[in-house]
Amino acid sequence: MRSFKGIFLLIIANLLIFTTLSISGTILINFVLPSFGIDLRGSVGGMDFAWAMVFGFGGAFISLWISKPMIKRSMQMQQITSPTTAKEKVVYNTVQQLAQREGLKMPEVWVYWDDTPNAFATGPTRNSAMVAVSSGLASNLSDDELRAVLAHEMGHVVNGDMLATTLLQGLMNTFVYFFARIISRPIEERSAVAGFLVYMLLQVAFSILAMIPISWFSRHREFGADAYAARAFGGEPMIRALQKIDYLASHQIQDKSAMAEDTLATMKIYNTATIAHLFATHPPIEARIAAIRRVAHNS
């Protein structure tokens, strides 16, 4: 039932995004840009690139904007506003402490029910973020290890990683749509069906290639979040947390259907997918630990 709910919400979100961007793009290209002396209506290449930017950046930003409500509706979660248990107090107070230190609005703090030890941060802006931890993470880590993981997630918020990732995703989407359209156009002029099929295949192929720079940036931002955690609470708690998460995840029997459903991999502190290095969203644990030790040594 949960998987069907997630799929339904994803379909509805995509339909709403498509409709919104179609209307926005039509207004932008046919009315707004001409009023500023930029008329792309007679230029095929210009029109294609304008539409590619509308859908590339528009889709990325809308996805970021609705990330919080979508996650809340697709996962079994509970918001912590008045912590009662010892672990809830550690989670809430750590996020509050770091937010106050950085002069940020208090992020929403959530716990979600999952035995896999994990955490993530998301939200459209630094002052409209949410931090979530799994029940498996809270129950398996010591208090100082849990604080380090929360500092890592707050590092993503402080560093503005969500916005930076969205900008990169929008740029990559723009090129995917544009080049797929330009290459498939001559085929479409001869056969609409063949042109559409080629267009879709090119989108898939270019999207896979676009994941290489996006994944590289994701790995880069993990080092930044680790460094923030090391400076906030010292390197050793973060190292122990990574080692424990790696051990627990590698020895845990994973539900394949749940893994296929998971759409939050790029936000999490640990990536369980065994994929090629170029497409890995997180660096190897050993590389992260070595980087944390360098930060701690230089601090």
Residues forming the active site:
153
Q: Name the token pair of 21.
A: 């961007």
What's the rounded Cα separation, in Å, for the pair 32 and 29?
Answer: 6
What's the rounded Cα separation, in Å, for the pair 136 and 117?
Answer: 5
What's the rounded Cα separation, in Å, for the pair 228 and 214?
Answer: 21
Cβ–Cβ under 8 Å, residues 108 and 131: yes
HEC sequence for the chain: CHHHHHHHHHHHHHHHHHHHHHHHHHHHHHHHHHHCCCCCCCCHHHHHHHHHHHHHHHHHHHHHHCHHHHHHHHCCEEECCCCCCHHHHHHHHHHHHHHHHHCCCCCEEEEECCCCCCEEEECCCCCCCEEEEEHHHHHHCCHHHHHHHHHHHHHHHHCCHHHHHHHHHHHHHHHHHHHHHHHHHHHHHHCHHHHHHHHHHHHHHHHHHHHHHHHHHHHHHHHHHHHHHHHHHCHHHHHHHHHHHHHHHHHCCCCHHHHHHCCCHHHECCCCCCCCHHHCCCCCHHHHHHHHHHHHHHC
